[in-house]
Amino acid sequence: MTDRAEIEAAVIEILARQLLLPPGEVAPEARVEDLGLDSLGKVEAIFALEERFDISVPFNANEPDQPDFDFSSVPSIVAGVERLIAAT
């Protein structure tokens, strides 16, 4: 079982990698928009999350802000990953 702290650390690490930042510069409450992650970075981060947690993220690259998976902030991504892990 993966706990919330482990999921949050992995989400921050993945976002930081996409942004070419050290993980310490991505705050646990950060909004993705404020971080400046572009659409390609979002897609790559989603692929990384899927691989890291062996989940399938419901995400439409043509409509990245649709509510199937809230990718707007670190806490919303963590919550979404938790939900997908619980559903497996």
Integer-rounded Cα Rg, in Å, for the chain is 12
CATH of the domain at 23: 1.10.1200.10
> Model confidence at 58, in pLDDT bands (50, 70, 90)?
confident
Domain coverage including residue 31: 4-87
What local confidence, expressed as pLDDT, does residue 60 receive? Answer: 64
Residue 59 has pLDDT above 80, yes or no: no
- What total of structural domains would you count in the chain? 1
CA angle 42, 36, 49 (to 5 degrees): 25
